[in-house]
Amino acid sequence: MTVPSEFEQRQDLQESEQRTAMNDEVTREVEGSQALLQGKLNEISVSVLQRGPVSAASQKSDTAGSRVRQLKESQKQLRARATELADEITRVTALCQDSLIEKFAGNKDLPDISKQLSSLPALQCELSLVTQAAAQIAQHLLPKAEIAEVRATADHSAAHANALRDVAAERLRRTNELIAGAAEHEGEIAYDPAKTISGVLLAQAKQLDLVAGNQRRIAQEREQNYERAQRSK
């Protein structure tokens, strides 16, 4: 077995270092290109979200989501108040019953319960109203608000997709014009639109269309469930 000479070893080391340096350079160029592409996509994404139809749809979606959160908070507070009222009614009822038992048993030294007796109807009325309000939210207002929220989110996704397609179409139009002009000097020039920024935008739009379609399906299913529940009453 021939042992490489010192010169050959140094030459192999230099070649290895050169290959490593070339690979590092290629990696930096690829990473730089990807960063540039992502930066451009981020810039386009910001501008698309600021477009009138997309911004308006976003605001409607935010409003619908806010309404759902408000109703859930109201429902939470009403349920808590109903628990408080039920406990207070139980306490006052027990106090009044005990006092009446002792009164008709002939005991004279009893606390005055007139205030508690007079408070019971008001407590019971408030409990009834609070319970009805919580039921109104659970059975009607919240389901409708959640359906509206899903539909508003779907509309936002669809508006976003349409805006991305518009941007992609305009970019492709300009690109095709540039390529047509360059082809007059250089001959036929081919490129893959799917690998361009426009191609990425179209892929994003397609994904958003799928999201919007799925959201509309969910909204329709929820509405049908709500209507069935109302008919069954």
pLDDT per position as a tens digit, 116-152: 889 999 999 999 999 999 999 999 999 999 999 999 9
The confidence band for 30, taking pLDDT boundaries of 50, 70 and 90, is very low
Determine the pLDDT at residue 173: 84
Domain ranges across the chain: 63-231
Q: Quick one: pLDDT at residue 189? A: 61
pLDDT for 94:
93
8: confidence class by pLDDT, cuts 50, 70, 90: low
Range 59-82 average pLDDT: 97
Residue 206 CA to its chain's centroid (Å): 18
| pLDDT computed for residue 26 by the predictor | 44
pLDDT of residue 88: 96
- Mean pLDDT, range 155-167, rounded to an integer: 92
pLDDT confidence of residue 47: 84
The pLDDT confidence band at residue 40, using thresholds 50, 70 and 90, is confident
pLDDT at 18 over 70: no
